Structure 1
């Protein structure tokens, strides 16, 4: 990798390494005095799948052995048999393909540029393509399945053979999108327009006949882009902080961007998070002065969200011309108005929310739900629904040192709302009024949810920022969380709730800023973020939480509105050979070790947990991956001490709570992706027999100088697997794949005790 390419890649990932939290919130260095009570784990048997893995898209031998027979279905019994993992673990590899276990097939379903209408030309994949309003966007990320009845005329929640996939398009690998790579600023309007259009969302119909395929010309097909009109709803609607030249009333905005994780609402709509949107905007080098100086509230807010004056934008769209669609990305205060209605100084305040879309109904306006706060929403996931009780939505803020949040609805859940006449207005009922909380984790395994409310003296009297009202608290949720002393976390990413226990799992991807002896804005080790060590080949002398971990939380009394909880660490990512007293605390082996957990989901059919990785620390050994496991329960492990030697020779002891160590019976590697990709976005059909996974940005590491030389591409997937134009020298493309079991069985498991894991 040449220096230019390294610099370009570093700039591309700057958003993921944001460290805007310079608050003085405490670390957790208290010594624990009690050990967790141990609980019995699910007893499972060893699976019967063959030992070999194969390149599924090519259906040939590979991965270190010959092809094995498909796993036999579980034998018929007189009663239910326990679920057990039933596939051979996939070996780590750096192959430019998708590798799944023997007995499974992975097929490309929907890739960058694929046409949504018959009138749209096939994707040439040479940078000349246009019309992305009718094509698949780039960087496929979170996705969800929405079932249809056999006729395709109505929602059927249990529908598995016909449905709509909602797909996030997080970002773009610009160089591959243009014939000769990216033109430097000022950006040509045609390039900027294309880059904008590949962001956003897709809704595309998929049918099984006999294999799964997407349907051109379906009435459900549509793209949502950064120019799609959207309503701002909830407590912040119409507030002064949302007023722009586009919407002087502060009630509307255009589009969504940098959408990461996705989930579904209990009433059947798509729920998508706006993540690292801050880097799409530009501020002039004199904007602090224009806004009233460094102490002005607007400047304090912008800096806390990582947007200092003079900060360049990720794509330079604001340089593409005087048209409003380009000017809006310049958030400098250029107008003379007192309220911002003559420029776009407040435009960034209209981003950073959870958005809700009805995939079945194009007429209903898309909502940005401001009651859930503004930050780098990785995603939002609902807790279990209990009639007569409020709903909980759990959310992570994906930046180093940021927080875990919870929203609790004012409205109590009515089971009739699971299939309402109007889905989007049902969202109005549950998501536009409620309480927003932030998490504080204690060293003894307890924790508390602190409400972010203007009535809290810590918020009302916060010296750093003078909150005007509750809407101000929601727009500046990060600052409010600073004020109440929330716990800084190691990049909270996806969240998932177990469909039986209701326990919350949060992936904490990594944090290069986690130190044993922090200085400045660095973060100290603590009980819930306990590791700092060297490992990554790209930074062998720089310690941090290199491989990440997965947090587990249980609400007190299993109540969604509880204000206290308990926690432990379900899994610690690590290389199998690392020290089990300091790094590989979960004792991972070669068949289940991983780094940088990102996507996470529980099967709603079987209750297995699926973990995806977005890794740069272990990629000298393996491409990113997906693992499948049988989860335990909070408290099934023990307390473990980690001893660090400080610079002065003294010992710092941090005690953490480690979940039961997995075995091959409870955690295995299921899939490895192609070179230079992220494995992200995961959903399934309701019958648990088809798994949809997104392969994001394979071979993204490319400089403009090498765009014309396919020999320099790191990946050629999926063209090298026979999908689309280009063949063995194709430009790589993000894509959605579908994985099925050759015998038609459940994904990953045998047994009949469905959702009966505990």
Structure 2
């Protein structure tokens, strides 16, 4: 997510700035190539994985620096991989590319229809009136209305017995995140703030409910999809919903608050960006830019804190001062300041106010930053925050290949500049008997396992570094943060990743797994803090891409990295990688437009990403772009990617004014319009994010987030989508169908 209106007085986007102060070196210096690149990419996945294990010595070793890795003993033969599926005819994109556009509409190719399904404020319970969309709707009804900023999303098909059916094509539960809010459009005249204090409690109540998650039943009748307003499955999960903790941090001192004196529970979830699923049929919502919601004034609170607490706050961006010395920890929506407020407001103040942690919310910020499991088929169930998956700015949690008898794996990006890529591997091996097991199945697979962070080496290999007390420099003697126990490691996963020596990436966002070969794709949206001379092989570009005459430096257009775990085994500790695709203007120089994009497929700032399940190998790519919006609104592209190593080694030249530097990297095969094509362009000032499909692949659900977000005058919105006329804009889900009833995009 790029929240363009959330800036401090210096104009810096508080959600996107980095808080990583480490000097983890450029990874072109970390490791000398032990294999010829040309030779490496000439190997198959299995043989390349074996070669890499021999050359790189595996992963997860301790130590504080990473020179050339010593040879390792010959690894055990990899476990046999499942038989490949029957060969199918190659996929082919079968639509005319949509042109770039600055219009306030949703544009799809000829032969397709996009219909609005579910909008901000739409009622999801009987008796709740239609949304007035003028700020006058009763705040008490918002726990039964659609939230704002629709984001990550999953379709769960339902059979006649009301059970999960992955092939369900005409009825299902659509579960989606509501990441944040555009406050100007929610109240009669925007937020009421007097002297830095929220003076209308009802406004804040609306905002509490508008964050979180929706579960709605959707149905297809003929060729039309609708949601069922009075379905017994419909549910809103929001900032006031009670949630349990599980895993290593549960019931520890770090999570104790006035609300939960034993650290077993908390209230709510928020800033839910991307998502994930489980093979037993539950939904994972991921807490991303949560830190900015908490109030912590350093001028008064720092004196009451230990050095470890201060190090943790700084690493996660909780409280602090901007370049002008002004406090930034007032809380993004000022929820803690409500005049005459009560405990639901006080919980957003994470300062030391009482005698002990049981008297206040000094640990309140520790209760956010997690992956949260929700059972959509059991509306009364209590969601669980799965602490074993680590605490950071979770963009998503993408499930890897599922094989009976093998561990489960989830891949996760930490969405901030210079943050990391993680994965979690379960201790328990998958048993298909757990399908439909709900939250209890999550207890089995998601509370015990290994958390890893990625190091991308300069020779196209990589290592998964385990985040565990006592290994990889994660000890009580680590100079920047003295780890105490397993709970401390997961709560301060960023510090642990720093200690291990992970690769700082250009804003790691969504991950997606190609069902054809198990390879994993990672969007890197952009990074304004990547200087010329500060690149590495996996983050190889630093340049200037001016917008309306203003400089945009670093890597403003972003790129996508992909990797293959060794031997096709998601639990492996080594991998191979390359750069699949680079965002750029089609008119950019060849050292910027490395993927040779043209007018029909150029893009900027890749963000949402998802592989079709009905058409394996079809990749959908969404943009969250503030860099290229002088030319086009945000978009959705369809892609048919190849595999790791299908391109070539390349040395690029980065230029910024009088500074020039070269960088060696590995660029995937240029996609051309046969392999990448623009499918949809959204309305003004929106982000394209969240995508799912019906079980037969003949309906594509896409979220349009915060149209018109940059509006400053409520009387003159930038956008009026989706209702048109003079209406206020609304985030909404659209459903796209092909007029002939065929598969979308093909």
Same fold (TM over 0.5): yes
Distance 1:326-1:530 versus aligned 2 partners, 3 A rule: same
Is 1:297 aligned to 2:312, yes or no? no
Q: Identify the match of residue 242 of structure 2 among 215, 229, 250.
A: 229
For residues 305 and 538 of structure 1, the distance between their equivalents in structure 2, rounded to whole angstroms, comes to 33
Q: Identify the match of residue 112 of structure 1 among 89, 103, 120.
A: 120
Aligned runs of 1:256-405 on 2, under 5 Å?
Answer: 256-292=269-305, 296-309=307-320, 310=327, 311-320=329-338, 321-337=340-356, 340-405=357-422
- Please name the residue that 1:24 is paired with: 23
- Please name the residue that 2:582 is paired with: 572
Distance 1:553-1:26 versus aligned 2 partners, 3 A rule: same
For residues 557 and 297 of structure 2, the distance between their equivalents in structure 1, rounded to whole angstroms, comes to 37
Is 1:684 aligned to 2:697, yes or no? no
Contact 1:38 1:638 survives alignment (8 Å):
no
What are the superposed Cα offsets for residues 640-668 of structure 1, whole Å, 9 maximum, x if unpaired?
1012468887x532111100001111110
Q: Identify the match of residue 203 of structure 1 among 193, 210, 215.
A: 215
Q: Secondary structure at the match of 2:279?
A: coil
Q: Identify the match of residue 245 of structure 1 among 222, 239, 258.
A: 258
Per the TM alignment, residue 181 of structure 1 is displaced from its structure 2 partner at its CA by: 1.3
For residues 113 and 235 of structure 1, the distance between their equivalents in structure 2, rounded to whole angstroms, comes to 37
Is 1:125 aligned to 2:133, yes or no? yes
- Please name the residue that 1:220 is paired with: 233
Contact 1:100 1:672 survives alignment (8 Å):
yes
Q: Secondary structure at the match of 1:676?
A: coil
- Please name the residue that 2:157 is paired with: 147
For residues 10 and 611 of structure 1, the distance between their equivalents in structure 2, rounded to whole angstroms, comes to 33
Q: Secondary structure at the match of 2:396?
A: strand
Aligned runs of 1:642-681 on 2, under 5 Å?
Answer: 642-644=652-654, 652-681=661-690
For residues 291 and 480 of structure 2, the distance between their equivalents in structure 1, rounded to whole angstroms, comes to 21
Aligned runs of 1:554-593 on 2, under 5 Å?
Answer: 554-580=564-590, 582-593=591-602
Q: Secondary structure at the match of 1:279?
A: helix
Per the TM alignment, residue 415 of structure 1 is displaced from its structure 2 partner at its CA by: 2.4
For residues 487 and 7 of structure 2, the distance between their equivalents in structure 1, rounded to whole angstroms, comes to 38
What are the superposed Cα offsets for residues 107-127 of structure 1, whole Å, 9 maximum, x if unpaired?
000000001123011111111
Aligned runs of 1:57-96 on 2, under 5 Å?
Answer: 81-96=89-104
Contact 2:201 2:341 survives alignment (8 Å):
no
For residues 559 and 416 of structure 1, the distance between their equivalents in structure 2, rounded to whole angstroms, comes to 22
Aligned runs of 1:602-613 on 2, under 5 Å?
Answer: 602-607=611-616, 608-613=618-623
What are the superposed Cα offsets for residues 140-163 of structure 1, whole Å, 9 maximum, x if unpaired?
000100111146x22222111000
For residues 94 and 256 of structure 2, the distance between their equivalents in structure 1, rounded to whole angstroms, comes to 55
Contact 2:545 2:556 survives alignment (8 Å):
yes
Contact 1:38 1:637 survives alignment (8 Å):
no
For residues 156 and 168 of structure 1, the distance between their equivalents in structure 2, rounded to whole angstroms, comes to 21
Contact 1:716 1:730 survives alignment (8 Å):
yes
Q: Secondary structure at the match of 1:286?
A: helix
Q: Secondary structure at the match of 1:565?
A: strand
TM-score by length of 2: 0.89
TM-score by length of 1: 0.87
Higher mean displacement: 525-534 or 636-645: 636-645
Distance 1:160-1:540 versus aligned 2 partners, 3 A rule: same
Is 1:34 aligned to 2:37, yes or no? yes
Q: Secondary structure at the match of 1:322?
A: coil
Q: Identify the match of residue 710 of structure 2 among 698, 701, 711.
A: 701
Distance 1:38-1:97 versus aligned 2 partners, 3 A rule: farther
For residues 243 and 353 of structure 1, the distance between their equivalents in structure 2, rounded to whole angstroms, comes to 16
For residues 550 and 698 of structure 1, the distance between their equivalents in structure 2, rounded to whole angstroms, comes to 25
What are the superposed Cα offsets for residues 285-318 of structure 1, whole Å, 9 maximum, x if unpaired?
434443346xx11111011101134412110010
Is 1:409 aligned to 2:413, yes or no? no
For residues 536 and 119 of structure 1, the distance between their equivalents in structure 2, rounded to whole angstroms, comes to 52
- Please name the residue that 1:725 is paired with: none
- Please name the residue that 1:737 is paired with: 734
Contact 1:279 1:314 survives alignment (8 Å):
yes
Contact 1:613 1:679 survives alignment (8 Å):
yes
Q: Secondary structure at the match of 1:425?
A: helix
Q: Identify the match of residue 516 of structure 1 among 523, 532, 536.
A: 532
Aligned runs of 1:7-18 on 2, under 5 Å?
Answer: 14-18=13-17
Equivalences, count: 680
- Please name the residue that 2:446 is paired with: 431
Unaligned runs of 5+ in 1: 41-78, 518-523, 721-727, 750-758
Distance 1:22-1:112 versus aligned 2 partners, 3 A rule: same
Distance 1:539-1:280 versus aligned 2 partners, 3 A rule: farther
For residues 542 and 744 of structure 1, the distance between their equivalents in structure 2, rounded to whole angstroms, comes to 43
What are the superposed Cα offsets for residues 442-461 of structure 1, whole Å, 9 maximum, x if unpaired?
01000100001111161102
Q: Secondary structure at the match of 1:190?
A: helix
Per the TM alignment, residue 630 of structure 1 is displaced from its structure 2 partner at its CA by: 0.9
Q: Secondary structure at the match of 1:349?
A: helix
Contact 2:6 2:15 survives alignment (8 Å):
no
Contact 1:287 1:333 survives alignment (8 Å):
no
For residues 10 and 146 of structure 2, the distance between their equivalents in structure 1, rounded to whole angstroms, comes to 25
- Please name the residue that 2:170 is paired with: 161
- Please name the residue that 2:48 is paired with: none
Per the TM alignment, residue 9 of structure 1 is displaced from its structure 2 partner at its CA by: 9.2
CA RMSD of aligned residues (A): 1.9
- Please name the residue that 1:137 is paired with: 147
Q: Identify the match of residue 177 of structure 1 among 186, 191, 196.
A: 186
Q: Secondary structure at the match of 1:695?
A: strand
For residues 441 and 208 of structure 2, the distance between their equivalents in structure 1, rounded to whole angstroms, comes to 31
Q: Identify the match of residue 550 of structure 1 among 531, 535, 560.
A: 560
Contact 1:38 1:636 survives alignment (8 Å):
no
Q: Secondary structure at the match of 1:238?
A: coil
Q: Secondary structure at the match of 2:397?
A: strand
Per the TM alignment, residue 713 of structure 1 is displaced from its structure 2 partner at its CA by: 1.3
For residues 414 and 492 of structure 1, the distance between their equivalents in structure 2, rounded to whole angstroms, comes to 31
Contact 2:313 2:319 survives alignment (8 Å):
yes
